[in-house]
Amino acid sequence: MTRVRRLADWDRDRLLDLAAEHGTPLYVQDLGRVRENYRRIERAFPDASVMYAAKAHTGRAVLSTLLDAGADIECAAAGELQRAIEAGADPNTLQYTAVNPPANDLDYAADLGAEHPGLTITAGALDTFDRLAERGYDGRVAIRVNPGIGTGHHEKVATGADAKFGIPADRVADVAADVADRFDLVGIHAHVGSGVLHDDLDDHCRAVGVVADLAREAATAADTSLEFLDIGGGFGVPYREEADPLDMMTVGERVREAVGDLDVTLKVEPGRYVVTDAGLILTTVNTRKETEAATVVGVDASLATLIRPAMFDAYHPIRNVTAPDRKPEPVSVGGPCCTSADVFCTDRPLARPEREDVLAIGMAGAYGYELANQFHSQPRPAEVVLDGEQTRVARQRETLADVTRLEN
């Protein structure tokens, strides 16, 4: 089992057949690879409770696959709770991480917890606990703490040092004492950041150590025994071909060392790691324009299909699936949106793209379809899932009628 799946590892003929049958732009998700990645996490954390962070990819096929593999599901919104339940999750196993939750979300979670007392609600603001109490909720809760250390691939995902997320370290003990009086305090939670690779591992483990210390303080202040310490996810996948993948066995060892002798169940919440290299986008070249400044290659995918390059300046590998052996040349690949941000790469060497060629944009399984939108009134793409030799449509392609369907 390889630790990362590169674009060249995908079956070229199968990708071309998918593009011909289902059209482009098209999301493709390989459920077999999702299982492989999950199993790797399980082996690295044999005594931990592994929860899949649903926000990375909430497609029912992915959620059902992971539930069947034995994963629990962590949700950050009411819609994700609903999706997990519809995919077959027992609500008593779900964990809801509330970040500035809208009233409707909190209503949904509180009602769900009243009916299913195994549900755990995690909150990172005293205000949120007050709002839960106002709704009559007195069940299982965890406190999200802010260790003051953030790591990850971009400042917008370094949540461990962002005031938006979690109770500040110097207030955790007081909040724990208050919360334990009103709820069943069962855990401490933190998420340091996303996209953690080897260069970030020291900071990540240092933050885990701080969170473990905060869990000790919270348990003492609340005069209770905690059930779990949830260190979130954040395990990264190398989007760039030259970057080395994580050795998850090493990560597991380092994390356990950072937690130390804390007598709790360790929880981890991988999301990106499980689904990133299991997904890609197929897109068709429709325009080739040579200028003095650049050779521009226009495709039918756009920032409405995949917004990560525009939002995070994210790198995604691209391959000419139709003609991978043509001589490479530097090209800029962009979509049909009327903004300079709608670009997937600039002056990147690719096997010479020609009109009607199919390109693959890799590492699109996490936060790809989840952030897809209807900018420029573009219908969202279809998604197919592969499971061994089987292929099925997991999400239908939207039509122009779907774009305006909810309007009055």
For residue 14, what are the contacts with CB-CB under 8 A and spacing of at least 6?
Answer: 386
60 is in an annotated binding site: no
308 is in an annotated binding site: yes
Q: Kindly state the tokens that stand for 96.
A: 């809801």
Type of residue at 71: A
206 is in an annotated binding site: no
- If residue 167 lies in a helix (H) or strand (E), which one and from where to where? strand 167-168
Report d(CA 6, CA 209) in Å as an integer: 33
- If residue 215 lies in a helix (H) or strand (E), which one and from where to where? helix 201-222
Report d(CA 317, CA 362) in Å as an integer: 5
269 is in an annotated binding site: yes
Report d(CA 1, CA 279) in Å as an integer: 17
Taking alpha carbons only, the member of 379, 374, 369 closest to residue 63 is 369
Task: Look up tokens 């917004």; give the residue.
Answer: 307
Task: Look up tokens 């070229």; give the residue.
Answer: 12
Assess contact for 230 and 269: CB atoms under 8 A.
yes
3-state SS assignment for residue 244: coil
Taking alpha carbons only, the member of 85, 71, 27, 17 closest to residue 362 is 27
232 is in an annotated binding site: no
Q: Kindly state the tokens that stand for 166.
A: 């979690």
- Count Cβ neighbours within 10 Å for each residue of 65-88 and write b for 16 or more, e otherwise: bbbebebbbbbbbbebbebbbebe
Report d(CA 210, CA 100) in Å as an integer: 24
For residue 179, what are the contacts with CB-CB under 8 A and spacing of at least 6?
Answer: 129, 141, 143, 185, 222
Q: Is 205 a residue of the active site?
A: no
Selected catalytic residue, list 75, 337, 338, 345: 338
Taking alpha carbons only, the member of 408, 63, 42 closest to residue 235 is 42
228-230/328-334 β-pairing? unpaired
Supply the Cα-derived Rg of the chain in whole angstroms. 22
The DSSP code for 361 is E
Q: Which residues are catalytic?
A: 338
Show binding-site residues for pyridoxal 5'-phosphate.
234, 269-272, 367
Residue numbers in the known binding site for substrate are 272, 308, 367
Which residue ranges are tagged as binding site?
234, 269-272, 308, 367
